[in-house]
Amino acid sequence: MAFLLGNRAEMVDSAVKIRFLLVFLFGFWASMAEAQVDSLFIQAGTASFYGKKFHGKKTASGEIFHLDSLTAAHKRLPLGTVIRVINQKNGLAVVVRINDRLPSYSKRQIDLSRAAATRLEMIQDGLAKVRIEAVDLDQLDKLVEYYADEEHPGLRIRPYYQGISILKRELNLNLVHYTPECIEIFPTDFQLVKN
């Protein structure tokens, strides 16, 4: 009976070790993912949406504005930039392309098309606190390059450097005896005995 209990204790011990290892690995991966998401952050602030009177009008990019397109106006981001806008109240997100400019005196950070505002469920409120992010690291790199020589007040644009994993190398503690004729490798418990 003791043999069976001992075996069970070993099984429980190894199961605990496996769970600990899995929790550690998932925690590590989650922190890496969170670091990358945080690095995509550009700006936080207030969003509004275009009124119907702008439908069919020309935007700063020269395009014709449509209420049902997933586009937005921003003060400083380059025209054509694709960004993710996240409603901080409900966590809903939408990907939009910047094709217009907000006036410099506007207190809002971004003005969304009606379709984008609908996806964020902000039509009823009219305004929403949002988080603006690059959609991926390639888009972030384009923004870093664009703003390399320009001021970008209010925007958090910086390069993202991905960590490099380096494998651990084992140190060989074997003693090496070198003579011009040959090299001899001795085990670590080697003792030299003189005659």
pLDDT digits (tens, 9 = 90+) for 110-160: 999 999 999 999 999 989 999 999 898 888 888 888 888 877 777 877 776
Reported as type and span, the H/E element at residue 5 is helix 2-39
pLDDT of residue 92: 94
What pLDDT score does 111 carry?
Answer: 93
Say what the pLDDT of residue 89 is. 93
Please state the length of the chain: 195
pLDDT at 186: 56
pLDDT of residue 37: 47
Residue 145 has what pLDDT? 87
What phi and psi, each to the nearest 5 degrees, are found at residue 185? Answer: -110, 125
pLDDT of residue 1: 47
pLDDT value at residue 82: 94
- With a cut of 50, list the residues of the chain below it in pLDDT: 1-5, 33-37
Evaluate if pTM is beyond 0.75.
no
Q: What is the pLDDT of residue 176?
A: 56
- Alpha-helical regions (H) of 78-195: 114-119, 137-146
3-state DSSP assignment of residue 67: coil
Which residue type sits at 133? E
